[in-house]
Amino acid sequence: MNINLLSPAEVKRILAAHGLRPKKRFGQNFLIDRNILNKILDAAELDSDSVVLEIGPGLGTVTKEAAEVASKVVAVEADRDLIPVLDEIIGGYPNTEVLCADFLDLDLEPFIKDRFGERRITVVANLPYYITSPLIIKLLDAKHLINRMVIMVQEEVADRLSANPGTEGYGSLSVFVQYHCIVSIVSRAKRTVFYPSPEVDSAIVRLDVRESPVIKTADEELFFKIVRASFGQRRKTLLKALSGSPDLGWSREKAEKALNKAGIDPSRRGETLSLEEFAAITKAAVDNQV
C-alpha cells in the first residue's frame, strides 16, 4: 500500500477515515519529516539481522521503514484505536507484530525473550514526556537483552540524559543512564516536524548499552541510593542530603565519615559530583561499613 505517512494531509486523511483525532493523553504527535526519520533509522543501524522493539508506533511511520530492513519488528501501542490503522498500514509485513498494551505494564524480560529469543534487541521509541523516565528505567532493568536504544524525547530531557556534573540538567537520571549507556544526542528536532506540533522541541537520543558499567562500584544498590539521596534535596550540602535521606538511613556522623574517607568536601552539593566521586563515596561506605 502506497501511503505517504510523512504528508500532513495524508495523516489527517487516515485519521479522519478512522474517525480519530490525535490524543493528548497519549502524547500523540506524528512524525512528518523525512530528514528526521532518516536520522532515527541511521542511528538505529538496522540490518537484516536486527530485531526491533518499537514503543509508541503511532501510525507506523518508523515501523514500516524498520520492517523493510530488520528481521523482526514488534510494535507496542497503548492506544487501541490506532490498532486498526496499524493493521492497515503494516499488515502486509509478515515480520511485524503489533501489540496493544501499556508498555509500563509489561513483564519486560519474559516478553522480550518470548518475542525475540536470545537475540539482543534494538529499541526505537517516540516517548511522551510523562513516561520518559520510568520507561527508560524499565528498559535499562533489562539492559542485558538490549543492544541500543534510539529515542525521541523532549529536548529538555535529552539535555538531562547527556548532562555533565555542575550543569543545570544534571541529576539522578543523568547518572543512572550514563552509568549504563553511552549517550549521544543524534539531532535536535523542531516541533514543526510533527503533526500536530507539540509545545516544545524534541531531540533524538541514542543510548548504546555498555557491556559493563562505566565505573566499578563496590555496591551498585548502595551507589544509586547515594545518588538519589544526593539529588533529593538539591539546595542542601552533601552532608545534609545524605544524613537526611530516609532511604539511605545514615546519621550525620556516618555521612561525614564516608565523605571524608572518599576525600570529598561535605559542603559540596550532589549536582557537582561525577560518577567516579559517587563511586568513591560508595566504596568508603562499604570499606568502613558505614
Please write the tens of the pLDDT for every residue from 158-216: 999 999 999 999 999 999 999 999 999 999 999 999 999 999 999 999 999 999 999 99
Residue 230 has pLDDT above 70, yes or no: yes
Fold of 220-287: Helicase, Ruva Protein; domain 3 (1.10.8)
What pLDDT, on the 0 to 100 scale, is given for residue 1?
Answer: 57
Confidence of residue 129 (pLDDT cuts 50, 70, 90): confident
CA distance 122 to 102: 19
Please give the CATH topology (third level) of the domain spanning 8-209: Rossmann fold (3.40.50)
Q: What is the mean pLDDT of the chain?
A: 95
pLDDT band, very low/low/confident/very high, at 130 (cuts 50, 70, 90): confident
Write the CA distances from 69 to 35, 64, 65, integer angstroms.
18, 9, 7
Residue 67 has pLDDT above 70, yes or no: yes
Average pLDDT over residues 134-143: 96
Q: What is the pLDDT of residues 6-56, one digit of tens each?
A: 999 999 999 999 999 999 989 899 999 999 999 999 999 999 999 999 999
Q: How confident is the model at residue 288 (pLDDT cuts 50, 70, 90)?
A: confident
Phi–psi pair at 148, nearest 5 degrees? -150, 165
pLDDT of residue 290 exceeding 60 = no
- 107: pLDDT strictly greater than 70: yes
What residue spans in the chain does CATH classification 1.10.8.100 cover? 220-287
118 HSE (CA, 13 A, CB side) = 0
pLDDT at 235 (0 to 100): 82
Taking the whole predicted model, whether its pTM rises above 0.85 is answered as yes
Dihedral of CA 88/90/96/100: which sign? negative
Q: How confident is the model at residue 289 (pLDDT cuts 50, 70, 90)?
A: low
Contact 212, 244 (CB under 8 A): no
Task: Please list the residue range(s) of the chain that carry CATH number 3.40.50.150.
Answer: 8-209
* Alpha carbon separation from 226 to 229, 230, 275 (Å, rounded): 5, 6, 11
